[in-house]
Structure 1
């Protein structure tokens, strides 16, 4: 099992932001992700920086740490411009970028460009067109395409990604259309659990919900004759019912990670602590988990 972290883009680069990414590398995390939003929930009226510039800076500051988004969505992105950014990021990082991508949701991102918020069906429709086009843009030198939502006219992306045939996609999915996209285009699948039971469910219900999600992913892979073992299964923590908070102690993390490893997850992602927020946690416990957590689980 791999252990990764999320570093939210809330700190100025020269006032602690750079140090967080360097510390993530020093602690041995597999990947450090960031949210790709224009702002996010309780942080809406606080500092929040762009994901692509933040990852570019992190790529220049680090050497080994993988980097990525959890997750990018069509809410304010276009496949043509995103592909150019990703190819540049992959080059700057020396092939260390993973794109977490999903349909997006409600909130500030959904209306910041002046549009009406899309329904869940509309978000799924857009991702269903966005992802195949992005796949082509990252693997073909020139792409022309006209769809219901997105177009590309001789969009050129030379020389392509450092990672071949392209950088990996980690597809966030909880519904049937999303699972099909993950099976067809993903190198990984991402979940936060079942959002319907976050506030009112039990840990046991959460585990069963994720077991069901893994079964659906397996069926989507079987439908196209793909081995589900080819996909990493990533759990972004912080959104499962209590006591599903693995940062309370090293023992709590080991119990949590062990339960989800047995389910079939291959990567656990924990949030870097942010004081006075829903991601507040003891920094010393966080660092101990990074250093000892997976080793203890493996032992």
Structure 2
């Protein structure tokens, strides 16, 4: 596990590759960021009516345009993925990137991913149904990536019949999983299969909570992760802990008071990141700026200059 706090970014897949997309991924590498992730959605929130490109093709292009930067999803879910086809894509991406891929994976939620593929008489999965599928999805994907010569499994939701994924991942025994979870079932999946754990904090606090309440809630999540690891016979210190920023009260522009927003300045961000590093986080992920003519997105750094200052100056102050 990392002993220093790493700084990474999320690049929303909203730019055409030859109109700013390529250069944004290349700039993330030039700035020395640890990793650059993208969202694996069919469409997302206010960006639904604008450009939105596929995660795996975007990451493949990014792999060819960079040489050091780690790449990944935050996060992929069973909402529209199947373990067999996803494994094939991940093995290909890991090969093309030279072993630089991390799979962020979670149970998924409501919204476009959950409804786009439904027939007229079908209903979106409930939270319990999503958890059921996630609990089967991750173990099967784990096996598919570890046993490339052929795998047959029959589950309640997913099946694989002589699924072959030769030559396997470039990273051995497979590429790392960063499991997004806060509930007990998801945390058990993270404890068993994750090389990292991901949280965005407590979403219920975004609208009316405080920075102190958010920190307490995240502290509680870290404690629950530790309990899940202990129950599984694993040391929680063996998992990297990733905070995807933008969804805690500090980022809500409607909330007044406090010490300001983390993206007011480099110092404000360092203060925010430092408080979370004290909870054991090893990686902080910030959203790169989105096009000015697109939807407003409070989770992202609004100013390109400030984004670059945070990327280049904050890691030294947090070391």
Short-chain TM bin: over 0.9
CA contact (8 A) 2:250 2:262 kept: no
Per-residue deviation, residues 245-275 of structure 1 (Å, max 9, x unmatched): 4222101110001000001111000000113
Could you tell me how far 1:197 is from its partner in structure 2? 1.1
Q: 1:277 and 1:13 mapped to 2: Cα distance? A: 21
Secondary structure, aligned partner of 1:118 = coil
Match of 2:63 in 1: 59
Q: 2:188 and 2:156 mapped to 1: Cα distance? A: 20
Could you tell me how far 1:242 is from its partner in structure 2? 2.1
Could you tell me how far 1:100 is from its partner in structure 2? 0.1
Q: How many residues align?
A: 298
CA contact (8 A) 1:248 1:281 kept: no
Does residue 251 (structure 1) correspond to residue 258 (structure 2)? The answer is: no
Per-residue deviation, residues 263-292 of structure 1 (Å, max 9, x unmatched): 111100000011352135111111000001
TM-score, length-scaled by structure 1: 0.98
Per-residue deviation, residues 139-197 of structure 1 (Å, max 9, x unmatched): 01211111111011000011100000000000000100000000000000000000111
Per-residue deviation, residues 202-235 of structure 1 (Å, max 9, x unmatched): 1100000000000000001101111111100000
Secondary structure, aligned partner of 2:263 = coil
CA contact (8 A) 1:2 1:294 kept: yes
Secondary structure, aligned partner of 2:49 = coil
Secondary structure, aligned partner of 2:249 = coil
Q: 2:251 and 2:36 mapped to 1: Cα distance? A: 24
Q: 1:121 aligns with which of 105, 128, 131?
A: 128
**Residues 1-299 of structure 1: pairs in structure 2 closer than 5 A:** 1-114=5-118, 115-140=122-147, 141-242=149-250, 245-274=261-290, 275=292, 276-278=295-297, 279=300, 281-298=302-319
Q: 1:280 and 1:254 mapped to 2: Cα distance? A: 14
Q: 1:41 and 1:26 mapped to 2: Cα distance? A: 30
The unaligned stretches of length 5 or more in structure 2 are: 253-260
Q: 1:92 and 1:174 mapped to 2: Cα distance? A: 32
CA contact (8 A) 1:235 1:269 kept: yes
CA contact (8 A) 2:287 2:301 kept: no
The unaligned stretches of length 5 or more in structure 1 are: none
Q: 1:271 and 1:203 mapped to 2: Cα distance? A: 19
Secondary structure, aligned partner of 2:264 = coil
Range 241-250 or range 100-109, more displaced: 241-250
Q: 1:116 and 1:99 mapped to 2: Cα distance? A: 28
CA contact (8 A) 2:181 2:199 kept: yes
Q: 2:57 and 2:251 mapped to 1: Cα distance? A: 35
TM-score, length-scaled by structure 2: 0.92
Q: 2:76 and 2:95 mapped to 1: Cα distance? A: 19
Range 12-21 or range 224-233, more displaced: 224-233
Q: 1:177 and 1:280 mapped to 2: Cα distance? A: 33
